[in-house]
Structure 1
């Protein structure tokens, strides 16, 4: 009986010592770990939402900068804060049509500017964009930009880099792009049979 009592007392003492190991310091450490884990998950989710939206390219309108079937990551944050800059490549829904796939084109004219295409060359505010003409092919079709187009406070004019194989702001069914239709600025491209992965820079 004495032996059984001793064993029982030892068990209770061991159990009591184990319970004492769960100290306020350990609880604080556990809560701190949980807090930082939640913060990390929230930050990761925000980064994915802001910089990790993936869009697939359709067609060859952005060659040789980007290729069909490549995927691009879109920066939604900078577009929300400052809007696109000239030379940026953007992803947008034409006419805000949510049933359409995203179009990917380069911004060539900004809000408040007047854009026109004359003899295959791009003019902004009446001045021929010489650098544009040196980099890209002469445009065979001016479309609606044959006449001057004055952009509103939230409107952008976009063109594909493959100028003569692109449906862009020259097309009546697309026209100027309103800021509310823009998903964001393209910053990284990957995948596709011809394209290689890499950061996408401005065309300026």
Structure 2
């Protein structure tokens, strides 16, 4: 091999090593890609969508009502779910005639489309959240396994906060 070819190969090798040194730590410690499989977040997210989550170690205490999160724990048998944060630590949640109430006040949910049947029609007696607990629901309340069935999730159950939909390309958006 000529010196020029060896030099070119060496430069490519250095570029690949540098790229890996940057991408791998970001993937392991900062960002989590996730493919949506279920219909529980329709119309916000559809099956097949790919989202990017900011890992909970980076988000810290930055979880707010309305955030979309990736959750998983003993309740999910190793699966990860995408849900919306509805209740925050210390709050009392109830559902009456399909309307969500936080500490007795009706929750306005601008993320749900008006009059398209995404509100649940059920009831939920009061659930008091502990200091480290969150109440999560899917936007498609009729087709969602969420805190109504498996109870509140803990901060440790929140794996990432969804910040970006990257696929399909015509629906790229930040959250």
- Structure 1: gaps of 5 or more residues: 1-33
Question: TM-score, normalising length from structure 1?
Answer: 0.67
Partner of 2:141 in structure 1? Answer: 163
Pairwise mapping of residues 163-202 of structure 1 onto structure 2 (< 5 A)? 163-171=141-149, 174-191=150-167, 196-201=170-175
Q: Answer 1 or 2: which has greater strand percent.
A: 2
Partner of 1:138 in structure 2? Answer: 119
Shift of 1:183: 0.8
* 8 Å CA contact 2:134, 2:154 repeated in 1: yes
Partner of 1:75 in structure 2? Answer: 54
Q: Deviations over 1:147-199 (max 9, x none)?
A: 1001011110011111222111111xx2111111111101112335xx84423
- Structure 2: gaps of 5 or more residues: 1-13
CA distance in 2, matches of 1:75, 1:149: 28
Q: Deviations over 1:80-128 (max 9, x none)?
A: x22411111000114365x422100000110111100011100001111
Query: 3-state SS of the aligned residue for 1:188?
Result: strand
RMSD: 2.6
The answer to whether 1:56 aligns with 2:35 is yes
Partner of 1:3 in structure 2? Answer: none
Is the alpha carbon distance of 1:133 and 1:42 closer, same or farther for their aligned partners in structure 2, counting shifts above 3 Å?
A: closer
Query: 3-state SS of the aligned residue for 1:147?
Result: strand
Pairwise mapping of residues 1-204 of structure 1 onto structure 2 (< 5 A)? 42-76=21-55, 77-79=57-59, 81-95=60-74, 97=76, 99-129=77-107, 131-132=108-109, 135-136=112-113, 137-142=118-123, 146-171=124-149, 174-191=150-167, 196-201=170-175
Is the alpha carbon distance of 1:70 and 1:95 closer, same or farther for their aligned partners in structure 2, counting shifts above 3 Å?
A: same
Q: How many residues align?
A: 156
Query: 3-state SS of the aligned residue for 1:180?
Result: helix
CA distance in 2, matches of 1:92, 1:72: 14
Shift of 1:45: 2.9
Q: Answer 1 or 2: which has greater helix percent.
A: 1
Is the alpha carbon distance of 1:40 and 1:57 closer, same or farther for their aligned partners in structure 2, counting shifts above 3 Å?
A: closer
Partner of 1:22 in structure 2? Answer: none
